Structure 1
Amino acid sequence: MYFESMVVSVIAITDAVLPDMRERGWGRIITSTSSGVVAPIPNLGMSNALRLSLVGWSKTLAREVGPDGVNCNIVLPGRIATGRIQFLDEKKAEREQRSVEDVRAESTGGIPLKRYGEPEEYGNVVSFLASEKASYITGSVIRIDGGLIASI
């Protein structure tokens, strides 16, 4: 079930659009996964593993379709200020009987930029990768995390 929704669905959408991209000699496949592929997130073993399979798939695809003018990249969002992050902060606050503000402060405290990313900041990176200006970027994994992931 999880494999179908998290992996097979992404590959199926790509399979649907890729032939036209190859025929035109230009295209961009940008797959958004999770920072868990670089620094596994505790208690999300299945998610970490399945999302990592998308990294391997994308890297393989980049080599296969690059000669046809199609670039493939992966973006790894960190803590982006979305409704989902708000929900997760609220649930953690509820579980730990703390204020949402305290949970958020703790979370942003571990981010070198000391804040959550804005959806527009995430969108700017994806927009760049989709542009002609990113014509020599393919097979890459790009973090959009405010420096959260400590590894190189």
Structure 2
Amino acid sequence: MTIMTKAAVTAAALALGLSTAHAAGTYTLDNEARILSGEAFGDAALAESAGYPDPELVIQWAARLGLSDGQVAAATRIRDAMIADAKEIAPDYVRLEHELHALFEGGRAGSAKVRALTADIAELEGRLRFIHLDARLRMRFELTRDQLRAYNRIKAGES
């Protein structure tokens, strides 16, 4: 089965005038393992670019951010819930993506089946995206303004 590479998806998105952040949230074989493990696959890029912190990075940078034990515990709960919730949905999402690719590659794609599959995929992708965006929303409220500024400086490569 041939699945578009990340570079091909990005090129196609750019050709259509879409942002690369949108392309990053698109299913590819390269990000399938990330999806199945419950990790974000570009679906939270909007929140990240607006300064909403990734719980995993908050945990990694806890000392640099000056997090309290309670904040580390909150970040861990948020991250663990995000991953658990995403892992529940991910296998169905990946299975449907494989079905869609197989229809086209096998020459069996028809409007009714493609419409149904893409609707189901979109629903699951929306749920996955919400899980990752909501985790960043919740994470933002666990940090102080100074910690958020520090997070964004670290993320931007500053010290």
TM-score by length of structure 2 reads 0.33
TM-score by length of structure 1 reads 0.34
Structure with higher helix content: 2
Structure with higher strand content: 1
